[in-house]
Amino acid sequence: MKHLLSAADLTKDQAIQILDTAKELAAATEQGVGKLPPLRGRTVVNLFFEDSTRTRMSFEAAAKRLSADVINFSAKGSSVSKGESLKDTALTLEAMGADAVVIRHNSSGAPHRLANAGWISGGVVNAGDGTHEHPTQALLDAYTMRQHLAGGEGDLKDLNVTIVGDVLHSRVARSNVLLLNTLGAKVRLVAPPTLLPYGVESWGCDVSYDLDDSLEGADAIMMLRVQRERMNAAYFPTAHEYSSRYGLNLSRMNRLAEHAIVMHPGPMNRGMEISADVADSKRSVIVEQVANGVSVRMAVLYLLLGGTESI
C-alpha cells in the first residue's frame, strides 16, 4: 500500500498492523522518547484546503516525532485563493520533493485524484475529503476502542458500537463503519431519517431512528458533530428538538453499560449533540482520542514512508 485514501482499502491484517505499530509508538512516547529517527530526511506536506486544527496539528506532531520535515500549506492566504488548481498545487509540491502529502479537501474524492492522476510520485494520506472519508480518524477511534474494550490487541470482534448523529455529512461515520466492519465490530447508526445518506442499508450495519432504543448493549457510543456549516437545508426542526431526541445527556449516559465509553471526534457542540457533563465525565475518552490520534498517524506515516515501499 502506497496511499491511505479510504478505510475500505485496509485489510484486517493491515488495520491491525497499524494499530499494533501505533501501540509501540505510543509506548515509546510514554517512555519519554520525544523523537524517533525513521523518517529523517523525508518531507511530509500538510495540504489543507479546509479549516482544521486538531487533524493538522496531529499530523504535524506525528511527522515531527518521526523526524520528518514538515511543510504546512493552508488554502487561506495561498495561491489557491488566487485561483490555482489542485493540479498546479500538486505539481509545485512534486517539484519541492514531497515524499508524502497529507490532504484535507472539501471535495469528496480529491485525495483519490491527487494519488492517481500522476501529478506526484509520493504517497497520499486522506485527512478528510468532503463528506466521503476520514480514515485516520477511524483508525484512532478503533485504537481507542481496542485499548478500552479489547485488551489493547487483536481485532474488535463482537464489540457493539453505536454511532449517533449527522451520518449524512459525516466522513467520520463512513470511515468508521468501513473499518469497524473490517475489524469485526457490530455497528448501529442512529440518526433522524433526514440525516441518513441514501443507500445506507447497503453499508452492512444496523440503522435506527431512536437513540433511547440503542443505549443498552452498546460498548462504545460515538456522538457526531452537528455540522452547522453544512446545514443549508432543514434537516431537523430546531436545535432544541435535535438535542432532546439525539443528544447524549447524563440520564441517557447512565443507561449505558458500566464499561461503555463515550467518544466524539471533535470539535464538540456542547449542549447540542453532547451535554457538557457527559463530555467531562469519566466515561468520556474524547481527550484520549486526540492523544491516540498522534500515535495512529505516526504509525500510518511510518508504515507508508519508513521502508522502500509500504505495507
Partner 1 sequence: MTHDFERSIDGRVVLDSSDISRALTRLAHEIVERTHGAQNLTIMGIPTRGAALAQRIAAKIAEIQGSPVAIGALDVTMYRDDLRMRPARALQPTKIPSEGIEGRLVILVDDVLFSGRTIRAALDALSEHGRPEAVQLAVLVDRGHRELPIRADYVGKNLPTSQQEVIQVKLVEYDGSDEVTIERAK
Which stretches of the chain bind partner 1, using CB under 8 A? 17, 20-21, 24-25, 27-28, 31-33, 36-38, 302-311
Task: Pick the closer one to partner 1 by CB: 154 or 307.
Answer: 307
Min CB(259)–partner 1 separation in Å: 26
Task: Pick the closer one to partner 1 by CB: 178 or 304.
Answer: 304
C-alpha R_g of the chain: 19
Task: Pick the closer one to partner 1 by CB: 38 or 271.
Answer: 38
Task: Pick the closer one to partner 1 by CB: 153 or 277.
Answer: 153
- For the chain, strand residue ranges (E) read 43-48, 69-74, 100-105, 123-129, 160-164, 186-190, 206-208, 220-223, 261-263
Min CB(302)–partner 1 separation in Å: 6
Spatial contact of 223 and 242, defined as CB atoms under 8 Å apart: no
Task: Pick the closer one to partner 1 by CB: 150 or 268.
Answer: 150
Min CB(93)–partner 1 separation in Å: 21
Task: Pick the closer one to partner 1 by CB: 229 or 309.
Answer: 309
In one-letter notation, the amino acid at residue 90 is: A
Min CB(253)–partner 1 separation in Å: 35
Spatial contact of 192 and 242, defined as CB atoms under 8 Å apart: yes
Residue 94 has a CB neighbour count (10 Å cut-off) of 16
Min CB(155)–partner 1 separation in Å: 16
Which 3 state secondary structure label does DSSP give 33? coil
How would you classify the pairing of strands 186-190 and 160-164? parallel
Min CB(27)–partner 1 separation in Å: 6
User: What is the distance between the terminal CA atoms of the chain, rounded to a whole angstrom?
Assistant: 5
> Looking up cell 495561491, which residue turns up?
79
